[in-house]
Structure 1
Amino acid sequence: MAALVIATYFLLTLLLPSHATPVKAPLLSVNFPDPCIFQDASSGTWYAFATGGWWTPSPPPPPTDTTTNSTAATTNVTATAPAIYKNIQVASAPHPKGPWTYLPSADPLPSPGRWAVSGPEGQVWAPSVTQLNGSAYVLYYAALVAPGYGSRDGDGGGEGNNGINSTITTTSTSSSSASSSTLAPPSQLRLARFHCIGAATSTTSPLGPYTPLSPDDRPLICPSGAGGAIDPAAFADPATGRHYVVYKVDGNAMGSGGECNNGVAPFRRTPIVLQEIEVTTTTNADGAGMGVRLVGDGVELLDRDDEVDGPLVEAPDLLYSPPRTAESRGGSDGEKGERDTERYVLFYSNHCWDGPGYSVNYAVAEGNITGPYKREATATAAGSGEKGGALIGTGDEFNVTAPGGAASVPGGGWIVFHGNCPQGRCLFGAEMEVVGGHVAVS
């Protein structure tokens, strides 16, 4: 009988179509959505940070009778430990490919700041960590704005107060504006139910604890008149040394219903915006500290297209691709001194996160971080050699449902993303290569 079972298995394997491949194994089998990946320059350890979630500790082992070295009866021992909620989840690994270990004791952001709701109801989403000069760490995150920290009714947009610049310069051909409202003083505010972006710093460890930087108890970026902001991703430009945050203006929060709350007219814009950041050192009575300042206005890089993206584009991430010499491109000896242009690759997700249409896509800009970004609709899907509309999508050779929220390793070579799994949305990864503005994964 055993021989028959084995023979039947191999026969079915041969008869199955080539696309019926096993599901790609997750790097981490816990609910770990919206990941970012980061290497600590001090220790060389890799960290992945994710949207807040619950962790259920393993139950304590049953007591042992020391006189007989036997396990005592556990009839009256509670086997289930209480679940613990963390605003931000963390895992670590010696290499981007793993093995990854969930860190249940880590609590990087105990509080997102007084402007934000904390705990399970706070919905702290999509953290992103960057390291400055090999020492201090900055954490960006999106959190639900607390009651009393919303926007003025009917406010029209413009510069934010107290260093909160909420103006967006649009480079889109769309005629509608993505400019957001001024964040008003608490005494003039109505109840708000949208997310804004905050920043926090740690001078001791990538695991924190991070202290929120909230001047006058306000978020860093808050286009409240356009629905708020989510999915921040830090980016340090190797070509210029400048620091940026790229994020999504969350028009879905102001939608009229339907798919991801933006499937019913009037449809809302969900632009991806680039904001330059300057990190400053401050000195006060308590000693030296850090501050984060917005430089100029945000620049719109990409917006949703009804036919291509459905209700949204979101989860942006930037990658710098340096210019290549003719030699590295396989040119002749006489062309070795020639160089092509540098490129910026913008990864993003489209369609609704809870459906099979959710996917990882990318657009490319040549020579300028502000664009224009050209969508690459002929990405190589999962190294299959076949052309498709998504870089990673449901039904490709990875066989992961609803992949999205991708983040690349600086310099390329590896990309992480989440996808559906029995635990929720698990952490996955893939090899990545950027050649001449074209991205391939495998």
Structure 2
Amino acid sequence: MGGANFPDPSVIRVADGWHAFSTNAVVNGKLVHVQNGYTPDYNTWTLRSGVDAMPDLAPWVYAGSPRVWAPDVIQLPDGSFLMYYTAAYKKMSNLHCLGWAKSRYVDGPYIDTSATPWICPTAQGGAIDPAGYLNSDGTRWVVYKIDGNASGHGGSCGNTVAPIVQTPIMLQQVNAADGHTLIGDPIQLITNGPADGPYVEAPSLSYLGGKYVLFFSSQCYQTPQYDVSYATAPSITGPYTKYGPLLVTGSNGMTAPGGLDLAINGNHAIWHANYGSGRAAFTGFVALSGNIVTASTFS
């Protein structure tokens, strides 16, 4: 997409090709809440420049600085589409919460009329980075990050000064038909340790090579240490063992790669890395052998 600023990308495959969505950006002087792009072949991409996939904000979102981040789109059994997203919470505008919005069409417009956020653990710092997953047994799940570093004690990305706050990646089952009715309590999959810097974030779940693979980023996104890592498990609920990193500064000439997402149970990956004054989308293929994920990149 010509190196356009397209951070925190996600991708969904439908009949006509792959559609990607990203965090908000200013395009031609206008704030676009959710950007989107398209490719029929996973090689030649078109950015729908200036088109907003979610032009109107839900009542619970802080309109003064909405910070709509990390959208992720799934298709429901009735053929409609649902977008999970992050936004600033009006009642506590320093924190972020999760919402969902619906559309008849993959490119939107997506609409959320909810008066309150969907998932919002404010006592733990809020939540960001939701991503949907449809398991082979028909159950539907969402992974997300509890944004503990939002209430951290300083340092890199707000959370390298002791005491370090936990930023766990959570797994939540949802109703398979509607994509948002919560089933049971969330399950912690991993959390940040000494090797992860201030946090683990940007989770994405897939099934590769006979194992569940949880992709995530660690280190601070504002530094060259930001990366794409992963953990594997024999069961969707874990236990997950961390491996990697998969992509780091220097991989294929990139700087601070992060936020990897895959079309569900496929090998087509998308992520971002620093480019110019923003973060451009990069694409490639991933594969798992044993517990080792490899990536081949081409654009």
TM-score class, shorter-chain normalisation, is over 0.9
- Please name the residue that 2:40 is paired with: 94
2:28 paired with 1:53: no
CA displacement at 1:271 relative to structure 2: 0.2
Aligned equivalents of 2:208 and 2:78: distance in 1?
22
Amino acid paired to 2:5: N
Aligned equivalents of 2:12 and 2:277: distance in 1?
23
2:147 paired with 1:292: no
Match of 2:166 among 257, 269, 277: 269
Q: Counterparts in 2 of 1:187-206, with a 5 A limit?
A: 191-203=92-104, 205-206=105-106
- Does the CA-based 8 Å contact 1:314-1:350 persist in structure 2? yes
* TM-score relative to the length of structure 2: 0.94
CA displacement at 1:208 relative to structure 2: 1.2
Amino acid paired to 2:188: E
CA displacement at 1:254 relative to structure 2: 0.4
- Please name the residue that 1:251 is paired with: 148
CA displacement at 1:134 relative to structure 2: 6.3
Aligned equivalents of 2:57 and 2:172: distance in 1?
21
2:197 paired with 1:310: yes
- Please name the residue that 1:133 is paired with: 77
| More off after superposition, 47-56 vs 191-200 | 191-200
Secondary structure at 1:252 match in 2: helix
Amino acid paired to 1:421: Y
- Please name the residue that 1:112 is paired with: 57
2:238 paired with 1:371: yes
Q: Counterparts in 2 of 1:331-410, with a 5 A limit?
A: 342-366=210-234, 368-377=235-244, 390-396=245-251, 398-410=252-264
Amino acid paired to 1:207: D
Secondary structure at 1:412 match in 2: coil
**Where in structure 1 do 4 or more consecutive aligned residues deviate above 6 Å?**
none
- Does the CA-based 8 Å contact 1:201-1:213 persist in structure 2? no
- Please name the residue that 1:39 is paired with: 13
Structure 1 residues 99 and 291 mapped into 2: Cα distance closer, same or farther (>3 Å)? closer
- Please name the residue that 2:132 is paired with: 234
CA displacement at 1:295 relative to structure 2: 0.6
Aligned equivalents of 2:101 and 2:78: distance in 1?
17
Structure 1 residues 235 and 28 mapped into 2: Cα distance closer, same or farther (>3 Å)? farther
Match of 1:224 among 122, 129, 145: 122
Structure 1 residues 345 and 222 mapped into 2: Cα distance closer, same or farther (>3 Å)? same
Secondary structure at 1:304 match in 2: coil
Aligned equivalents of 2:80 and 2:49: distance in 1?
23
- Does the CA-based 8 Å contact 2:202-2:259 persist in structure 1? yes
Aligned equivalents of 2:78 and 2:52: distance in 1?
22
Structure 1 residues 393 and 278 mapped into 2: Cα distance closer, same or farther (>3 Å)? same
- Please name the residue that 1:74 is paired with: none
Task: Give ranges in structure 1 of 5+ residues lacking alignment.
Answer: 1-26, 57-82, 150-190, 281-289, 323-341, 378-389
Amino acid paired to 1:361: S
CA displacement at 1:54 relative to structure 2: 1.1
Secondary structure at 2:24 match in 1: strand
Aligned equivalents of 2:50 and 2:176: distance in 1?
29
- Please name the residue that 1:11 is paired with: none
- Please name the residue that 2:268 is paired with: 414
Amino acid paired to 2:294: A
CA displacement at 1:40 relative to structure 2: 2.2
Q: Counterparts in 2 of 1:107-186, with a 5 A limit?
A: 107-118=52-63, 121-133=65-77, 135-146=79-90, 149=91
Write the deviation string for residues 246-267 of structure 1: whole angstroms up to 9, x where unpaired: 0000001101111000011221
Amino acid paired to 1:140: Y
Q: Percent identity?
A: 40
CA displacement at 1:436 relative to structure 2: 3.3
RMSD after superposition: 1.6
- Does the CA-based 8 Å contact 1:412-1:433 persist in structure 2? no
Q: Which has the larger radius of gyration?
A: 1
CA displacement at 1:192 relative to structure 2: 4.2
- Please name the residue that 1:283 is paired with: none
- Does the CA-based 8 Å contact 1:363-1:375 persist in structure 2? yes
* TM-score relative to the length of structure 1: 0.65
Task: Give ranges in structure 2 of 5+ residues lacking alignment.
Answer: none
Answer 1 or 2: which has greater strand percent.
2
